[in-house]
Structure 1
Amino acid sequence: MKKKILLSLVFYCLAVPISFAQKASIIPVNLRFEYLENPMGIDEQFPRFSWTLEARDKKAFGQKQGAYRILVASKASLLDRGEADMWDSKWVNSDAMQQVVYQGKPLLSDRTYYWKVAVKDEDGKPSPWSKSAQWTTGLFEPGEWQAEWIGTDQLFDPKQKDCNIIDPWLRKTFELPRRPGRASLFVASVGFHEVYVNGKRIGEDVLAPAVSDHTKRARYVSYDITPALKKGKNVVAIWLGTSWSIHGPYVSDHRPNTPIVLAQAAIYAEKEPQADAKPIFSLATDASWKTHPSPNKLLGIWDSNRMGGELWNANQEMPEWNRLDGGDSAWKNVVVYKPELKLSAQQVEKNYLFDEIRPISIEERADGSFRVDMGVNFAGWTEVPIKGNPGDTIQFLYSEREQDDMTFGLHSAYIIGATGKGVFRNRFNYSSGRWITIKGLKEKPKLSAIHGWVVRTGIQSATQFACSDSLQQWIYDKVRWTFENLSLGGYIVDCPQRERLGYGGDAHATCETGMLNYHMGAFYTKWMEDWRDVSGTESIVGNMYDSTFARKKLMGGRILNNGILPHTAPTYMGGGGPAWGGIVVTLPWAMYQQQGDKRILEKNFELIKNWLAFLDSNTKEGLLQRFGGHWDFLGDWLWPGATAEGMNNDKPETLCLNNCYRVYNLRTAAKIADALGKEKEANQWEEQANVYSKVIHDRFFNKTDNSYADSSMANLAAALLADIMPKDLRPQVMERLEQEILLNRNGHIHVGITGGALLFKLLRENNRNDLIYSMTSQTDYPSWGYMKANGASTIWEMWEKDLPGHSLLHSSYLYPGAWYIDGIAGIKLDPKRPGYQHFVVSPPSALPALRWAEASFNSPAGLIEVKWKREERLALQVIVPPNCSATLRLKHEDDIDVEPYGNYIKKIGQQGGEVIYELQAGTYSF
């Protein structure tokens, strides 16, 4: 009896340090694993854990993490008892709560692991354990894949007006000796897919998987099919959608030009099988699967301006196709293919339906058609009820412009079946626009029966922002809406209707807006993998299947393996210039600053080296020269009036901009090398940047007015951002930029996509909120206010609205989205301490219509809040999350009384008319 009591006391003592009884000041929350919440099918063998901290007492100050302890177990019951059979980190004296690397036993494929974390506070008191989180693993070794790639014998014929492939059904019937405890189905497809088990749709995601370079890679998605399986006969069915399987640049000798799928599942009796457990059944795609045409097919050929839509033929419907009672005796055998594709897990959020959209009106027109106004421009799915004569074809034409029935060739159709009624709804394609013209209906559809949804990657919002200036609020809201409509398939498309390409140049305009408003860690990690996949191949410009454009001599998508990069990833197509490939330097660095993620620098370091070496190989007498073909050396793009002036040119301003950007790449790469401890490369790249800066300055500097090349905003911003000029000239060049904005352009913006992204980044980093505010406050052409005045519900591709062939939903001008958070709200990262455990708060000086602003930002290190209001003087509220600190920078006239906060805030100096304070964790109200 005494022995039992003693053991109980021992266990109690072990438990007490992490019980509520200790009343630690902080609790770990928001557990993430490789940036994701409870993800499935992760094939990273050394994954990383992250969390933030919540203050137990919201009124307290100075909460810190002095240590952490992570437990990882193979069974939930073990973790519940505080046992860690996979990894117990023990107490680690550290304030780290981001990117903590797993260091336990080797992880097994196709298993579930459970984890939790506890921390010690500033006084050494342990917190309670966090809530448990979990992840499932994918397949770590290529040899574990036993499945075969399967599809149909129907191959794409590019000569057809519309795709000739009917989206196929595939199915397999099998028998289980008992109801299983665990069954994870891994599905990789070239083209989209949906999964069904015994007639039940598995998962709520759509347009799976994420887009990949299908000359090299296929990403697999993990599905838990356990609840849908039963003892006895079962059927697993997969529906394939053609989509990216026929994308021209993905045409390969080793892969058929048709949708294909590979899937397998090890089905276990136990929910948490032992390491050596054998499955009761192994399911895999092979020659025994059967296939049948579905009622759905792609309209268009998945190419620029020919993305089309979908045709649904209700006469081909088979409601029982995915059920046991359906039978497949009349189905054909599948074809087995052997593509050479690397399999990797989809470690990015899936695509889902968001933001249900209801139409605002239906117009019945003289020609018998109906015009539906959805009220907002969006990219996604629509649902419309159908009623008419059997065999009638109902057409749906989608348009961004009120005066046009159809833009960019986007259209779908529905052939009515024997019942005379049905419902059209997208499945493997999406439309983009505001208006739907419906032709062929005999009676007007009910407004309440028509629905729309945005389709996008499931990135979570990180930020809320509001301000007193109605125009600025409109711009912020529309930038976010546009960004969400472009977040499709794990990369940012330039436009969702015409091209759907992942332009590197456009990414400069979107990436920091994304990072300051959404949780983008997994998303950008995946996109950088895409850039590694396409590296070494030149860009493909034009339509792959049009002999007018196909694989021109210098634009043929040739594999060169010399460090060259195409202008889009993972999509290859499209034109660009050095700033397009250069995203492989700037995006990892921005991710590192935002997330403190050193691994993204390590994984992309060779890619960066190869890119810079490629630029070196095209350098003559210290200047980067035009390389590639006609569309491979673009400078700025789509500034006001650009189409009339001509953008793709060999004028000095293009050469100047691209050389300045190249130096900016070198200086950024030097910082990356320095962060990784690679002194040789850091010194080499910084030295190159200094040498090339002198050459650029000597060649392009205009002494008469302290400008560069054509004196444009783009070249002034690029030269300043790259530190081209001698230090003593920098103030004069900045003054010349101010003159260009306020005087020469009367407060308006006069740059395009790349030039504008560089300009806004420069002004944000130099706290020139006054200049950005001037450009974002205009209401006439060119400006965001001009878009608002012209009825825009999304941000346009060009500053001009009515030039034909250009998108009204585009990535071009989304760069203000970052400024609202780090400029107007004043929440800035500290470049010397990545990841926001230390950050800067710097409310802007008085701006005309801005009386107040507030933002809450779920940073990687915790929830940061800033609220400010200006009446007779500045009123300011700041929340610094636990385990964080902040530098507060205020103008002298905005100085504050710090006495109520004692040692938790201290004045640390003055600089350039500002008073500087250091704040510890807590809530402050000045």
Structure 2
Amino acid sequence: MATPSSPRFEHHREALGIGEAAPRLSWKTVAPAGWRQAAYEVEVTRSQRVHTERIESGESVLVPWVGAPLESRESASVRVRVVGESGDESDWSEASVVEAGLLHPTDWVAVPVGAPWDEGDDLDARRPPLVRRGFTLGKPVAKARLYASAHGLYEVELNGSRVGDDALAPGWTVYGQRLRYYTYDVTGLLQPGENAIGSWLGDGWYRGRLGWRGGFYNLFGSDLALLAQLEVTYADGSVETIATDDSWRAHVGPIVRSGLYDGEVYDARDELPGWSAASFDDSGWSPVATGERDPATLVAPQGPPVRCTEELAPVAVLTTPSGKRILDFGQNFAGRIRIRVSGAAGDTVTIRTAEVLQHGELYTRPLREAKSTDVYTLRGEGTEEWEPRFTIHGFRYAEVTGWPGDLDAAVAAGDAVGRVYHSDMERTGWFESSNPLVNRLHDNVLWGMRSNFVDVPTDCPQRDERVGWTGDIQVFAPTAAFLYDVSGMLGSWLRDVAVEQLPDGTIPWYVPVIPAHQMWTPIRPGAVWGDVAVLTPWVLYERSGDAGILAAQYESAKKWVDLQDRLAGDDHLWNEGFQLGDWLDPDAPPQDPADAKTDKYLVATAYFAWSARHLAKAAEVLGLADDAAHYSRLADLVRDAFVAEYVLPDGRMSSDAQTAYALALRFDLIVDPELRAAAGARLAALVAEGRNRISVGFAGVNVLSDALTLVDANDSAYDLLLEEECPSWLYAVKKGATTVWERWDSLLPDDTVNPGTMTSFNHYALGSVADWLHRVVAGIAPAAPGYRSIRFAPQPGGGLTSASAAHETPYGRASIDWRIADGVLSVDVVVPTGADAVVELPGAEPVAVGSGIHSFSALL
């Protein structure tokens, strides 16, 4: 008997307040091995009306909505049942409920409200306010929804209770064109008669300090304001709306200052107990100042919000040589510390965070100008609990000063807890092997991703930067898409990439753009980074099966490749202009990370060919035959020009460096068999000559291992993986890393921090090797979009005796588990219902299998 899951809508984990009027549906089916779907039925119940349709199709991922589109605020209950090829029908699935948000600008009546004394340009007069309003409910309530956003960050309270559990809302988007709002079910927080709603506000990305070299304030606006609309539906069907307007009131709150880089200063003596309760007297508060916001710019979320997903207790309380007390959480992460403390009014606890220690002391130089300091002043009334609201830090260590009482005893009692924050994506990928160091490397990759997927894909969580560098996520996206369901989050971020794209097709180095960018990184075309417009949508399509992502980003991708074409000119070589090239080549000087061994224009032309090829593939998927033919021809021309310019007659390359060969081989630019074999042999020789040390930067790191595998030099790929001397992946592991570093030698062999001013210990780009671990070491990869077909092809090596990987595909859990004993490779695979697979073992012919559990063995 087949059993379908309750349906999912688009890529939402939660389907309250979505922005799609006709959301596509997906479900997973558990059925006997070999069962195949021939048809499905969808039942949609809305306003007591039931609509049912049967569709003759084997599809179960992102299938079209049935019936009329949803209206704003409308909800529907949806369930499915499936029909097998033999005509057998399943029972109906459990129902899922979807509810549309505010789909039209005219749905909004709220205006932004903030403090009248908030002089946005005067840093001394911008203490974050509280805003509130009381209201009366005179009839029984059937349901209530709160739609909320802000210029800045917000946390809403209703009748003294926190609304939702999201953090740093509404997140970071290109605020002028796209300001996200969230929807909350607040029915249970309302009460008959008198009620009150209020909100904390914080600067956040909107007007807080952003950028390095001192940074800038007010980059997206100078006001700090809540935009909220509480809609109460009474039992009799009537609706009352309590929206932010000039009837709200404002007052100074206990937050003195808050910033994403610098931390939060909080004076509990200024707390106003019960300020968001109905009984609170706000007659001493000031009328709010109202602002403006074009409601056409308000958008519903596509991905999950930031939340606390884990709590970490300190593993040690250290005393430094200078006598300072430091909490060691044993793990580098992005988050905040929650404290419980008792003391006298005016006692002040100061917490400074950092990633590393040097000479036994907290080492803050890698933070550059980020203060990363939280300050709490006690009110002096019993046990007080506090966690910053509107900041986030990247750290492992926290220096604590001013703690009243015994810090060791407090930590033992759980009074200082690390709270891990990131976008609350669904975990979808797992890996393990017989090598503990490789397993720790994979754990580090996972933690690096968690630390840097904080609403946007950032470069690092600790210093005065934390921006969405396009090249970094471009190389890491395949790994990210295995470990977590990133389709919603990255799909949303790619919309911002398209918004920020210049009319000529240029993709900024990071998105959202910090408007004062010209002081550090003028927007100009750059390979690897700009190619995110083409390659990352393709990765999401490949891993999720969602052609809608390709369609949404196609014009942006096309503009980028057309720009590359114009810049390259008739010779099809992109060999002019500024490039970052193989950024952070380990041999580059600490203060000149673009000075790599591989010619930056070789890198640019290789990426031009690769993006043109993928744009052609995207056009083919979307049924754009003319574009597919055009960009396929262009890719061939660029490939031929690349070989003529950069590949020598003997198969060597003009840049005799690992990245040059890796790009040429992985991007299929060298197709002549003799030249390809010679280039592959030279790449393997370079690895051996370099004593298996890594010799690539960002442009080479995600292609190097695959290039070696493709030319039957897998032993060299394993040699690179397992090398423990600097620079290598395991060097950091041996040095005690718990996340992936920005530089191969962020910590030098003498245990001092790299002298470069750009040094992070939590940065995912160099962890993109994990995609190779999943696909080659464990041996699981999509053979068709969305894993509709799976390739199981483990290639053991490096002395590993076992490896396993599992991935929650759109069809269900797929997995592989292999072991070697007495010269025999034993492999177990699981194929979910709705998918099929090909199993390719060393020395054996490929075997096609259907859904179910399958076991194989091969002699090695």
Q: Same fold (TM over 0.5)?
A: yes
Q: How does 1:62-211 map to 2 (within 5 A)?
A: 62-75=34-47, 85=50, 87-89=51-53, 91-153=54-116, 165-211=126-172
Distance 1:760 1:534 in 2: 33
1:265 counterpart = 2:230: yes
1:822 counterpart = 2:775: yes
SS in 1 for 2:510: coil
Q: Are the counterparts in 2 of residues 298 and 308 from structure 1 also a CA contact under 8 Å?
A: no
Deviation at 1:841, TM superposition (A): 1.0
Q: Are the counterparts in 1 of residues 683 and 708 from structure 2 also a CA contact under 8 Å?
A: no
Summarize the Cα distance change of 1:295–1:254 in structure 2 as closer, same or farther, 3 Å threshold.
closer
Distance 1:531 1:353 in 2: 27
Q: Are the counterparts in 2 of residues 38 and 133 from structure 1 also a CA contact under 8 Å?
A: no
SS in 2 for 1:915: coil
What whole-Å deviation, never above 9, does each CA across 1:198-230 have from its counterpart, x for those lacking one? 111111222212321112211000011111112
Q: Are the counterparts in 1 of residues 207 and 218 from structure 2 also a CA contact under 8 Å?
A: no
What whole-Å deviation, never above 9, does each CA across 1:884-916 have from its counterpart, x for those lacking one? 211111222xxxxxxxxxxxxxxxxxxxxx401
- Match for residue 554 of structure 2? 605
Deviation at 1:438, TM superposition (A): 1.6
Q: Are the counterparts in 1 of residues 573 and 641 from structure 2 also a CA contact under 8 Å?
A: no
- Match for residue 690 of structure 2? 745
Q: Specify the code of the residue in structure 2 equivalent to 1:269.
A: Y
- Match for residue 235 of structure 1? 196
What is the alpha-carbon root mean square deviation over aligned residues? 2.5
Distance 1:442 1:856 in 2: 48
Deviation at 1:761, TM superposition (A): 5.0
What whole-Å deviation, never above 9, does each CA across 1:154-196 have from its counterpart, x for those lacking one? 5576785xx7532221111111112311111110123221111
- Match for residue 619 of structure 1? 568
What whole-Å deviation, never above 9, does each CA across 1:81-140 have from its counterpart, x for those lacking one? xxx53x422x21111010111131131111221101100113110100111111111011
- Match for residue 800 of structure 2? 850
Q: Specify the code of the residue in structure 2 equivalent to 1:693.
A: R
Q: Are the counterparts in 2 of residues 49 and 98 from structure 1 also a CA contact under 8 Å?
A: yes
Q: Specify the code of the residue in structure 2 equivalent to 1:209.
A: P
Deviation at 1:803, TM superposition (A): 0.8
Q: Are the counterparts in 2 of residues 311 and 414 from structure 1 also a CA contact under 8 Å?
A: yes
- Match for residue 362 of structure 2? 405
Q: Are the counterparts in 2 of residues 494 and 503 from structure 1 also a CA contact under 8 Å?
A: no
Q: How does 1:621-700 map to 2 (within 5 A)?
A: 621-623=570-572, 625=574, 633-644=579-590, 646-648=592-594, 653-700=599-646
Distance 1:650 1:817 in 2: 23
Q: Specify the code of the residue in structure 1 equivalent to 2:282.
A: D
Distance 2:84 2:443 in 1: 39
Q: Specify the code of the residue in structure 1 equivalent to 2:508.
A: P
What whole-Å deviation, never above 9, does each CA across 1:640-692 have from its counterpart, x for those lacking one? 13235833359870111111111111111111111111122222212222222
SS in 1 for 2:664: helix
Q: Are the counterparts in 2 of residues 592 and 600 from structure 1 also a CA contact under 8 Å?
A: yes
Q: Are the counterparts in 2 of residues 495 and 811 from structure 1 also a CA contact under 8 Å?
A: no
Q: Are the counterparts in 2 of residues 348 and 522 from structure 1 also a CA contact under 8 Å?
A: yes
- Match for residue 867 of structure 1? 817
Deviation at 1:450, TM superposition (A): 1.1
Q: How does 1:317-716 map to 2 (within 5 A)?
A: 317-340=271-294, 342-364=297-319, 369-403=324-358, 404-407=361-364, 408=367, 409-419=371-381, 422-445=384-407, 446-448=410-412, 449-536=415-502, 561-572=503-514, 575=521, 577-623=526-572, 625=574, 633-644=579-590, 646-648=592-594, 653-704=599-650, 706-716=651-661
Summarize the Cα distance change of 1:479–1:253 in structure 2 as closer, same or farther, 3 Å threshold.
closer
Q: Specify the code of the residue in structure 2 equivalent to 1:578.
A: A
Summarize the Cα distance change of 1:52–1:156 in structure 2 as closer, same or farther, 3 Å threshold.
farther
1:882 counterpart = 2:833: yes
Deviation at 1:744, TM superposition (A): 2.0
Deviation at 1:465, TM superposition (A): 2.3
Note the residue ranges of structure 2 that are not aligned, 5 or more in a row.
748-752
Q: Specify the code of the residue in structure 2 equivalent to 1:867.
A: D
Distance 2:94 2:382 in 1: 53
**Length-normalised TM-score, structure 2:** 0.91
Deviation at 1:419, TM superposition (A): 4.0
SS in 2 for 1:585: helix
Distance 1:795 1:255 in 2: 32
Q: How does 1:235-254 map to 2 (within 5 A)?
A: 235-246=196-207
- Match for residue 5 of structure 1? none
Distance 1:733 1:760 in 2: 14
Distance 1:179 1:642 in 2: 69
Q: Are the counterparts in 1 of residues 357 and 363 from structure 2 also a CA contact under 8 Å?
A: no
Summarize the Cα distance change of 1:731–1:298 in structure 2 as closer, same or farther, 3 Å threshold.
farther
Q: Are the counterparts in 2 of residues 594 and 829 from structure 1 also a CA contact under 8 Å?
A: yes
Q: Specify the code of the residue in structure 2 equivalent to 1:422.
A: E
Q: Specify the code of the residue in structure 2 equivalent to 1:530.
A: D
SS in 2 for 1:717: helix
- Match for residue 668 of structure 2? 723
Summarize the Cα distance change of 1:619–1:378 in structure 2 as closer, same or farther, 3 Å threshold.
same
Identity over aligned residues, as a percent? 27
Q: Specify the code of the residue in structure 2 equivalent to 1:718.
A: L
Deviation at 1:413, TM superposition (A): 1.1
- Match for residue 213 of structure 1? 174
Summarize the Cα distance change of 1:585–1:157 in structure 2 as closer, same or farther, 3 Å threshold.
same
Q: Specify the code of the residue in structure 1 equivalent to 2:262.
A: G
Among 280, 285, 298, the residue aligned to 2:257: 298
How many residue pairs are counted as aligned between the two chains?
Answer: 823
Which deviates more, 782-791 or 255-264? 255-264
What whole-Å deviation, never above 9, does each CA across 1:226-261 have from its counterpart, x for those lacking one? 111122111111111111111578999996313222
Q: How does 1:37-76 map to 2 (within 5 A)?
A: 37-55=13-31, 57=32, 61-75=33-47
Among 845, 850, 860, the residue aligned to 1:920: 850
Deviation at 1:577, TM superposition (A): 2.5
Distance 1:870 1:648 in 2: 43
- Match for residue 22 of structure 1? none
1:811 counterpart = 2:764: yes
What whole-Å deviation, never above 9, does each CA across 1:43-69 have from its counterpart, x for those lacking one? 1122110011112x4xxx311111111
Distance 2:457 2:820 in 1: 39
Summarize the Cα distance change of 1:863–1:96 in structure 2 as closer, same or farther, 3 Å threshold.
same
SS in 2 for 1:853: strand
Distance 1:877 1:439 in 2: 54
Distance 1:393 1:655 in 2: 55
Q: Are the counterparts in 2 of residues 798 and 812 from structure 1 also a CA contact under 8 Å?
A: no
